[in-house]
Amino acid sequence: MHPPHPLGIGTWRLGEAPSKAKQEIAAIQAALDHGLTLVDTAEMYADGGSEELIGAAIKGRREQCYLVTKVLPQNASSKGTRAACERSLRRLGTDVIDLYLLHWRGRHPLAETIQAFRQLVADGFIRRWGVSNFDLADMRELAALEHGDECAANQVYYSLSERGIEYDLKPWLDRQGIVTMAYCPLDEGRLPRHRGLQAIAAGYGASAGQVALAWLVSRGNTWPIPMTSSAERAAENAGALALSLSPATLAELDTLFAAPEQKVRLKIV
């Protein structure tokens, strides 16, 4: 099961302030209203508050959502993974998670976490599993383990201005059929303010953020998850799905934001 559109909504930093809950719920619901059914969160975000916020936002609309959440590495033992998943399910107000990720590598053996994920799939608690913040060496180690080839996605920092994964990680993921989930696809708000990108966007009657998101979608096998607490911005992000960038524009973007020519350390925030 995949979301109908590759573009979704991220919820890092949402759920931290009760005074903003109404606005943040409206942003999530606006994303759903505009077809952005992929909703990404983690047990770490706001110490579970983000999951609770999403649970409130999608109440009565669960069938519209493709839910992704993550287990913290310190919880990723056999028993700990299950307990964390059960807590996330309660907070989200659902009986199944579409995609469950290991947030980053920790002290628990990957083989143990894989087995815990597979049991959760067998028990119907999750549909697919994957990882986050894994570089190529980590992915190769994972793939060499029994059932490691069942990994569905790797969520990493990826944007027009942070293209390091294109040197070796993304080509490898593409060959393996593993989805690249792109967090911080607007480079933490820097890309919408980029003057060169704004000039290109003007030619399309679009925003710089829309062009940055459309570029990621054009890379194939890539799911960008921009975070927003604004219903208006969620609607704007959705507009990127209707944007088709010409070969000339793609070449211009390559000039503005060059692809890496050597290995770049994976950016993690």
Residues catalogued as catalytic: 45
Contact criterion met (CB below 8 Å) for 93 and 64 = no
Q: How far apart are CA 215 and CA 236, in angstroms?
A: 15
Among residues 25, 214, 130, which one has the least CA distance to residue 226? 214
Buried b (16+ CB within 10 A) or exposed e, 119-138: ebeeeebbbbbbbbbbbbeb
The token pair at 203 is 């030619």
The number of residues in the chain equals 269
Burial class of residue 22 in the structure, from the number of CB atoms within 10 Å of its CB (0-12 exposed, 13-18 middle, 19+ buried):
exposed
Residue 75: helix, strand or coil by DSSP? helix
Which residues, at least 6 apart from 199, have a Cβ–Cβ distance to it below 8 Å? none
Q: Regarding beta strands 8-10 and 222-224, do their DSSP bridges make them parallel or antiparallel, or are they unpaired?
A: unpaired
- With H, G, I as helix, E, B as strand and everything else as coil, classify residue 57: helix
Where in 160-246 does DSSP place strands (E)?
179-183, 222-224
